[in-house]
Structure 1
Amino acid sequence: MNLQVNFVLPHWVYWLVLLALPLIVMWLVDRSFRRGGTVSGNTTAEVPVGEEEDVYRPPGNALTRIIDKISGFTGRYVAYWSLIAPLVYCYEVFVRYALNSPTNWAHESMFLMFGMQYLLAGAFALREGGHVRVDILYTRAAPLTKAALDLMTSVFFFIFVLALVSTGWNFFAQSVSQDFLFFGQGYANETSFTEWAVQYYPVKFTLALGGVLLLLQGISQFIKDAQAFRHARQHGQGSHVFAWLVLLLGMLLAAYAIHEVVNVAVNEYEAFPLSVENSLYQVDIGTLTALMFGTLMLVLMAGLPLAFVTGGLGVVFLYLVGDQFMLNLIPSRIFPMMTNYQLSAIPLFIFMAAVLEKAGLIEELFDTVYKWMGGLKAGLAIATIVASTLLAAMVGVIGAAVVTMGLIALPAMLKRKYDPEIALGSIMAGGTLGILIPPSILAIIYGVVAQQSVGELYLGSLIPGLLLAGMYGFYCWLRGTLNPKAAPPLPVEDRVSTAEKLRLLRKMLAPIVLVIVVLGVIFTGLATPVEAAGIGTLGAMVVAAMHGRLTWPNLHAACMTTLVATAMVMWIIFGATIFVGFYILQGGQDFVQELISGAGLGPYGVLFVMMILLIALGMFLDWVGILLLAVPIFVPLIQPLSFDGLLGLPGVDASDVSLWFGVIYLVNMQMSFLSPPFGYALFYIKGVCPPHITMAQIFRSSLPFLALQALGLLLVILFPALITYLPNLVYG
């Protein structure tokens, strides 16, 4: 009996669903809120929670309110697209295995949908403060200085966005036949290369439209920054001299930027006098390296979000070294990233985390684990690490783990007189396990950038992740044993019977099944990580329904959380791919390779230098930024090297070097979340701490666990089989 299905989604149905479904969901969500529906649970955002409460918030004006509403509506509109993907991916897996009818349209329709979502969500994320800043000097500046820095650095934001709008429009117009209305510039209507042959021009149009929305929101933000500057100046909140110097520098930069914009608009092959176009054409790569990365650090420290720093500077150097035509590199670098199939797993896993949190599953998970382990010395801290390990295996989102466990576990430990440093450290260290324990989002991005199998990375990182979790738990137990007052066990009267413990295990059934399903389909090859994310997300929605929490308000909150967190990650990727891509095209990779090889270091010496650089970057930069800046340069350098082992221990097979380095990189990135002064976990936890917990306490609490992470890094370097054993066992 032939049960094959030959259904191919019609193009008009695809576009109709994308246009109409969000409007239907909006109506259902609004109706539910009007009837008294509420959002349950807490935030699972990937963006650190701010700690400033008593700050001036610019009121804006009529124009900013209109722009904010446009960004809000657009963000909400595309956020609801996330509801489609779990159903489509589950359909694809079902028809492939049950009916032997694999499709191309299912995958293509979803990664194109997510690509459009990334672009159109940038303005909403900017409105919500979701784009990550490197807060080295910015947070410590006086309000007047902050406002002046915001106004000055906005020049780079507008340079990036204007270039994106202009080149994005050309990119779109070239995909449309020149016979199509007035803007077509191509020879035919461009379609995909699969048998589905969907039109590409609506997808490419979002490059320009996303840029326009971001430009509008940037204008709104600029008006508010100007209001903040005026308010701070009137109230004497900072040095007037320094602020005006910063503002003057910004005006000079803006004047020159306008001069160059006019130059591009008026001239093609000749430039205005004093134009900087092509002015660095003859500069050698060493000087260019110093200029690019020196300027990058300066602008980062000034507080501009990382995505717009790298994107803006990338545009500037494209123009300075090349010419206006070289700016067309921008959409050609962004489009492959926005339509990358594997990156579609990022919004799905974040959505899965948000749905699980709204279902109350994370609270139940911790409740079960701590009642099982509470009788041990430091039992609550150990329970936190165990729960965080299970949570990491479900969601792979660092912010979700640290914030949620901080809200649940920290009050429980402080109530039972735990040393705050043990309590804080166990939560932060446990939360960082999401970097290693599959399904790690960082592993997905690394796999895309380094062209490494995500499935192999997942298997390779499993043993190191569990090893580090065990080390964290052992350290907490040792502290509780040596000083019971610092981490006391649960009082006898609060402990539960064996029968009650067994009854509580029923609450663990759903997360355990979810973990087995998601990881099982990946490791057995039944589904790709993207499909597994779709299956897991649908499973999370089923669990939420079983708990009576699959409500429209909860789905709305999960979609919006997913949108902001995903936009933050993807726009950093867009900006960094322009900056780093241009640097590599100019010979930067060869320059770094010659620099390191010229130092006379052996393979392990090169690896040591890379680890130190990554640790140093982790003290200041966000994890996505580090990956996009360092990995494209480091991986080609490390692949040809031979690692024969240290201290007489076994080395690494040449075919395993790329995988081995990838997992070492992931272990290293755990350290970046705990590294003072700007590790993200430090600020995640601060956002949910009681007021009496100081940043100094948080810094101190991270140091022992940071040392354990360094030990874990050393172990996976000395014993590469910790990484390579499982992938070789499964894949051969």
Structure 2
Amino acid sequence: MNLEVNFVLPHWLYWAVLLLLPLVVMFLVDRSFRRGGRVSGSTAGEVPVSSHEGAFHPPGNGLTRVIDRISGFSGRYVAYWALIAPFAYCYEVFVRYALNSPTNWVHESMFLMFGMQYLLAGAYALREGGHVRVDILYTRGRPLTKAALDLMTSIFFFVFALALLTTGWTFFSQSMDQNGVFFASGYANEVSFTEWAIQYYPIKFTLFLGALLLLLQGLAQLIRDYQSFRHALPARDGNVPFAWFLVILAIVLGAITLFEIVNIVVNDYQPFALSVEHSLANVGIGALTALMFGSLMIVLMAGLPLAFVTGGLGVIFLYLVGDQFMLNMMPSRIFPMMTNYQLSAIPLFIFMAAVLEKAGLIEELFDVVYKWMGGLKAGLAIATIVASTLLAAMVGVIGAAVVTMGLIALPAMLKRHYDPEIALGSIMAGGTLGILIPPSILAIIYGVVAQQSVGELYLGSLIPGLMLAGMYAFYVWFRGKLNPRTAPPLPPEDRVSMKEKLRLLRNMLAPITLVVVVLGVIFTGLATPVEAAGIGTFGAMVVAAMHGRLTWPNLHAACMTTLVATAMVMWIIFGATIFVGFYILQGGQSFVQELISGAGLGPYGVLAIMMLLLIALGMFLDWVGILLLAVPIFVPLIQPLEFDGLFGLPGVSAADVSLWFGVIYLVNMQMSFLSPPFGYALFYIKGVCPPHITMAQIFRSSLPFLGIQALGLFLVIVFPALITWLPDMVYG
């Protein structure tokens, strides 16, 4: 009996679903809210937006309100696309295994859909403050200084957005049929290479449209920055001479930018006499390295979001070293990333976590572990670490884990008179396990950049992740045993019977089964990580329905949380791929490799330098930025080296070096979240702490766990089998 299905989604139906489904969902969501529907669960997201009480909030004007509405509508519109993917991937897995009818169109339709979503969501994320900024110095500035810095650094944002707008239009117009549309200029109706043969020009059009939306939202932000400057100036709330210097510098940079725009519009091959185009063409790679990374650190410290720092500087150096035609490298670097199949697992895993969180399962998870382990010395801290480990297997997103556990576990521990440093440290360290415990978002991005199997990375990181969780738990238990007053167990009257514990455990059967299924289909090879993420998201919706929490308001909140978190990650990738791609094109990769290998160090010496550089970068940069800046340079250097082992212990086989280094990198990145002065977990937890807990306490609480992470890093280097044993067992 032949059960094969030969259905291929018609192009018109694909575009109709993308165009009409969001409108239907908007109607249902709005109707639910009008009838009293509410969002359940907490509002923990990947990037909590800080708001200082008493701070001036610029009112904007009619134009900014119109732009905000446009960004809000476009963001909400594309956010609801995420609802399609779980059903599409479940269909693909079903027809492949049950009906022996694998498809190409399901995968292609979904990663193209997410690629368009990334681009169009950038403006909404900017409106919501979702783009990560390295604000070490920025947060310490007075309102006048901040406003002046915002005005000055906006030049880099507009350089990036304008360049993407113009090159994106060219990229789009080249993909159309030259004979059919007046603005087409290149190919004859470019289509994908699969049998589905979808037309590419609508997807490429989102490069232009996303840049346009981003540019408009940037204009609204510029108006508000100017209002903030005008408000703070009469009060002299900051360093007035320095603020005026920054504003004048912004005017000068803006004038230069306008002059160069005219030069590009008017001239092709012979620039104006005063133009800076091609002015750095003869600069050597050493000086170019100093210029690029020196300017990167300066602008980062000024508080501009990382995506626009790297993207803007990448555009500037493309123009200074090359010419206006080199700017066309931008869409050719971004398009492969926005349509990368593996990266589409990122929004799916985030959406899965958001649905579970809105279903209230994270609170229930902590309650179960809390009741089971609360009677131990430091039981609440151990329960926090265990719950964080389970949460990491559901979430894979660091900020959500730290913020959520901070909202749930911190009040419980402080109420029981825990030492704040033990309470804070256990939450932050446990929250960072999402870097290692599958399904890690960072592992997905690393696999794409380093061309490493994500499934192998997941298996390789499982034992180190569980090992670190055990080390954290042992540390807090030992502290509680040395001094029970710092981490007291639950009093006998608050403990529950074994019967009640088993009843509570039954409540967690569905989400734990979901995690086992998702990781199981990845490890056994039955489904790719992307398909597993789709299945997991569908399963999360089923679990939410079982708990009576699958409501339109909850789905809306999950979609919007997913959109901001995904846009933040992907726009950093877009900006960094331009900056790093240009640097590698200029010979930067070879320069760094020769610099490190020329030091005369052995393989482990080279590895030690890399680890120290990553730790130093982790003190200041975002984890995605570090990956995009360092991994493309480090991986080609580390792969040919021979690691024969330390202290007479077994080494690493040549076939396993890339996997081993990948997991070592993930362990190292855990440290970046706890490293003062700008470990992200430090600021995530500060956002949910009581007012009496200071940053100094938070810094101190991170240090013991930072030491444990350093010990874990040392162990996986000395004992590589901790990483390689499980992948070798599963994959041979």
TM-score range, shorter chain: over 0.9
User: Aligned residue for 1:142?
Assistant: 142
Aligned-partner SS, 1:176 = coil
* 1:535 matched to 2:531: no
User: Aligned residue for 1:289?
Assistant: 289
Q: Shift in Å at residue 186 of structure 1? A: 1.9
Alignment of 1:241-280 (within 5 A): 241-280=241-280
Separation in 2, partners of 1:290, 1:500: 63
Compared with structure 1, are the counterparts of its residues 601 and 51 closer, same or farther at alpha carbon in structure 2 (3 Å cutoff)? farther
Separation in 2, partners of 1:201, 1:559: 26
User: Aligned residue for 1:404?
Assistant: 404
Q: Shift in Å at residue 54 of structure 1? A: 2.1
* 1:161 matched to 2:150: no
Separation in 1, partners of 2:487, 2:410: 13
> Does the 8 A contact of 1:278 with 1:323 survive in 2?
yes
User: Aligned residue for 1:218?
Assistant: 218
Q: Shift in Å at residue 388 of structure 1? A: 0.5
User: Aligned residue for 2:123?
Assistant: 123
What is the RMSD of the two structures over their aligned residues, measured on CA atoms?
0.6
> Does the 8 A contact of 2:49 with 2:129 survive in 1?
no
> Does the 8 A contact of 1:122 with 1:567 survive in 2?
yes
> Does the 8 A contact of 2:41 with 2:359 survive in 1?
yes
Give the residue type in structure 2 aligned to 1:689.
C
Give the residue type in structure 1 aligned to 2:255.
A
Q: Shift in Å at residue 665 of structure 1? A: 0.1
Q: Deviations over 1:640-695 (max 9, x none)?
A: 11101111111000000000000000000000000111100001111111111111
Alignment of 1:577-592 (within 5 A): 577-592=577-592
> Does the 8 A contact of 1:300 with 1:309 survive in 2?
yes
User: Aligned residue for 1:605?
Assistant: 605
Give the residue type in structure 1 aligned to 2:480.
G
User: Aligned residue for 1:515?
Assistant: 515
> Does the 8 A contact of 1:43 with 1:400 survive in 2?
no
Q: Shift in Å at residue 710 of structure 1? A: 0.2
Q: Deviations over 1:347-370 (max 9, x none)?
A: 001111110000010111110111
Give the residue type in structure 1 aligned to 2:393.
A
User: Aligned residue for 1:562?
Assistant: 562
User: Aligned residue for 2:330?
Assistant: 330
> Does the 8 A contact of 1:350 with 1:562 survive in 2?
yes
User: Aligned residue for 1:474?
Assistant: 474
Q: Shift in Å at residue 441 of structure 1? A: 0.2
Q: Shift in Å at residue 52 of structure 1? A: 1.9
User: Aligned residue for 1:432?
Assistant: 432
* 1:315 matched to 2:315: yes
Q: Shift in Å at residue 49 of structure 1? A: 4.0
Separation in 1, partners of 2:624, 2:401: 18
Separation in 2, partners of 1:187, 1:17: 27
User: Aligned residue for 1:229?
Assistant: 229
Give the residue type in structure 1 aligned to 2:483.
N
> Does the 8 A contact of 2:49 with 2:130 survive in 1?
no
Q: Shift in Å at residue 53 of structure 1? A: 2.5
User: Aligned residue for 2:81?
Assistant: 81
> Does the 8 A contact of 1:285 with 1:587 survive in 2?
yes
Please report the TM-score for the alignment, with normalisation by the length of structure 1: 1.00
> Does the 8 A contact of 1:5 with 1:99 survive in 2?
yes
> Does the 8 A contact of 1:51 with 1:686 survive in 2?
no
> Does the 8 A contact of 2:306 with 2:625 survive in 1?
yes
Give the residue type in structure 2 aligned to 1:531.
E
> Does the 8 A contact of 1:49 with 1:683 survive in 2?
no
Give the residue type in structure 2 aligned to 1:612.
L
> Does the 8 A contact of 2:651 with 2:720 survive in 1?
yes
Separation in 2, partners of 1:400, 1:127: 20
Separation in 1, partners of 2:447, 2:81: 25
Alignment of 1:708-719 (within 5 A): 708-719=708-719
> Does the 8 A contact of 1:51 with 1:687 survive in 2?
no
Q: Shift in Å at residue 181 of structure 1? A: 2.2
Alignment of 1:22-101 (within 5 A): 22-50=22-50, 52-101=52-101
Separation in 1, partners of 2:363, 2:597: 51
Separation in 2, partners of 1:365, 1:657: 37
Q: Shift in Å at residue 182 of structure 1? A: 1.3
> Does the 8 A contact of 2:452 with 2:658 survive in 1?
yes
Q: Deviations over 1:250-271 (max 9, x none)?
A: 1111110111010001100110
Aligned-partner SS, 2:185 = coil
Separation in 2, partners of 1:551, 1:502: 29
> Does the 8 A contact of 1:48 with 1:680 survive in 2?
no
Separation in 2, partners of 1:535, 1:576: 31
Q: Shift in Å at residue 234 of structure 1? A: 1.7
* 1:465 matched to 2:465: yes
Give the residue type in structure 2 aligned to 1:631.
V
Give the residue type in structure 2 aligned to 1:201.
Y
Q: Deviations over 1:411-437 (max 9, x none)?
A: 100000000000000000000000000
Separation in 2, partners of 1:398, 1:605: 30
> Does the 8 A contact of 2:318 with 2:326 survive in 1?
yes
> Does the 8 A contact of 1:673 with 1:681 survive in 2?
yes
Q: Shift in Å at residue 400 of structure 1? A: 1.2
* 1:660 matched to 2:660: yes
Give the residue type in structure 2 aligned to 1:603.
P
User: Aligned residue for 2:674?
Assistant: 674
Alignment of 1:168-179 (within 5 A): 168-179=168-179
Separation in 2, partners of 1:144, 1:49: 20
User: Aligned residue for 1:194?
Assistant: 194
Separation in 2, partners of 1:136, 1:493: 46
Alignment of 1:274-423 (within 5 A): 274-423=274-423
Separation in 2, partners of 1:255, 1:303: 22
Which blocks of at least 5 consecutive residues in structure 1 are unaligned? none
